[in-house]
Chain A
């Protein structure tokens, strides 16, 4: 036998071995991700008649990011009481367990195809191929990194995304450092400022490149003002320096175009930099499945049932668009769960022509992007939207041609606070045109 022949035999054998090592299964519904979105979607799908559901979760437990969000402030809308992240998660974890949903932990989904073949790997089961009737994508989001911002300077240890530091402190019991500067004043940045402070670190400053904070007012008060932690707006880090460990940062004021203003540089000595500079929906799997993506949300384009452009593949939660409150993640994921259940039972009535939803003016996006189902069970259809910049006293309007379907007053609209407008579903019949336009108009222009 020649060497080439031996190699050929060996490679055939290993291919056969690999082939036989793939477990093959069929299930009605596969939910990718066991965080709040996946849990609520699975629970709701089960409650609407789907009993063959598998949740695939890469972590060692369910609950997703809520397990590290130990602060209170969750659940005010959904549970009508104030809970911490782990308490909110535990409610849904118990619910799916009671329903006998098949939960696979330590399992990483590698690929989802447009034919709804789901490939997952785990240490215990190796590679599994699941032929699913329907898939719910609920992978959540990921934090933007230093690399995404191109912050110049050295590359020392001590630069963390705020969420990474949050997991270290709250779940693993490790302090990232003793003297911190936080870049970004979104809610995670604010919450981590308080957390670092209460665990004994000095928090030198929270820096925000925008003229206003991206976080909730209550977090500015209870996380910064309570502990005299300075919030400096229109400032950013223009250099990180340090040999092995961060030794300090150079900070500069920025102009209205976010350009650093020469001559305003000053240094802050610190050993830790936390970055809270935005979240990005985690859509590698969605893109692999070929779903159409939305340029503003960074998530899939979906209809009113949260179905993507690929039949029977749904998306909900932060993978779809980043939510500021988990309560809205739950609400949206329940819409997806209910809708996927109806679809699996052939109980869904599709419109002849979908109604397209367009955002104009100061509206940065609206989810869903189209209404393709006739759903007699629901009386109201919520539209989720955000504005580009803070505005006082505005009306959110939803119009079709010259007909106004909804008009809601907001005392203050901010990019950080998602606005919900409930559409009366009866009003969706006999529209002047198959299109809705969502706008935000200052009060005096009405």
Chain B
């Protein structure tokens, strides 16, 4: 039988309770330190399956800027963030780009797409902001 205590800072509100979870054989036994039910809910989810939205950028050719901002369309598993960065870095898209365009499909087999978060017009005479 393995037991451990996991410390989690709740981010549901600015109070930022330090919540501790007692775990026995992977099963949550007790949750302490939260001062409201949202804290327990957050800590449970954060222990079982921490996910994050990944905001980053992708390379663009022929646009008013050389990068377009992108994000994971849904929260993705936290342990996959760094792998996803590598996969996105290998991509280059051509301007124009539209908000919502899929830049990487099913990133790192997570089932989550990486999508553009703005319109990026094509530039007739090279990037505008990098002169």
Structural contact, A173 and B99, CB atoms closer than 8 A = no
The A205-238 residues at the B interface (CB cut-off 8 A) are: 216-218, 220-222, 225-226
Given contacts A72-B71, A171-B65, A173-B66, whether A226 and B78 have CB atoms under 8 Å apart is yes
The B65-111 residues at the A interface (CB cut-off 8 A) are: 65-67, 69, 71, 78, 81-82, 85, 99
B1: interface (CB < 8 Å): no
Structural contact, A170 and B71, CB atoms closer than 8 A = no
Structural contact, A170 and B67, CB atoms closer than 8 A = yes
Which candidate, A83-91, A111-119, A273-281, is the interface stretch facing chain B?
Answer: A83-91
Chain A residues with CB under 8 Å of B117's CB are 70, 83-84, 86-87
The B1-37 residues at the A interface (CB cut-off 8 A) are: 9-11, 13-16
Chain A residues with CB under 8 Å of B118's CB are 67, 86-87, 89-90
Structural contact, A172 and B67, CB atoms closer than 8 A = yes
B64: interface (CB < 8 Å): yes
By size class, the interface of chain A is 20 to 34
Structural contact, A217 and B99, CB atoms closer than 8 A = no
Structural contact, A217 and B71, CB atoms closer than 8 A = no
Residue of A with least CB distance to B85: A198
Q: How many residues of B contact A (CB 8 A)?
A: 31
Chain A residues with CB under 8 Å of B55's CB are 70-72, 84
Which of B13, B52, B53, B66 has a CB less than 8 Å from the CB of A226? B52
The interface bits of chain B over 109-131 (1 if a CB of A lies within 8 angstroms of the residue's CB, else 0) are 00000000111000000011110
Given contacts A82-B53, A86-B117, A221-B11, whether A172 and B66 have CB atoms under 8 Å apart is yes
A333 to chain B, nearest CB (A): 20
Structural contact, B67 and A198, CB atoms closer than 8 A = no
| Assembled-state Cα–Cα distance A177/B120 (Å) | 26
Among B52, B59, B69, B82, residue most surrounded by chain A Cβ atoms (within 10 Å): B69
Chain B residues with CB under 8 Å of A129's CB are none
The A282-328 residues at the B interface (CB cut-off 8 A) are: none
Which of A67, A84, A216 has a CB less than 8 Å from the CB of B71? A84
| Assembled-state Cα–Cα distance A203/B14 (Å) | 25
Chain B residues with CB under 8 Å of A199's CB are 56, 85
Chain A residues with CB under 8 Å of B13's CB are 411
Q: Identify 8 new A-B residue pairs, CB closer than 8 A, beyond the known A173-B67, A222-B11, A225-B9.
A: A70-B55, A72-B55, A84-B71, A90-B119, A170-B69, A171-B67, A217-B10, A411-B15
Would you list the 7 A-B pairs with minimal beta carbon distance, nearest first?
A86-B118, A217-B16, A70-B69, A218-B11, A60-B128, A173-B67, A173-B66
Q: Name A's B-contacting residues (CB within 8 A).
A: 59-61, 67, 70-72, 82-87, 89-90, 169-173, 198-199, 216-218, 220-222, 225-226, 411-412, 414, 417
6 examples of A-B residue contacts, CB within 8 angstroms? A60-B128, A70-B117, A171-B129, A199-B85, A220-B16, A225-B9
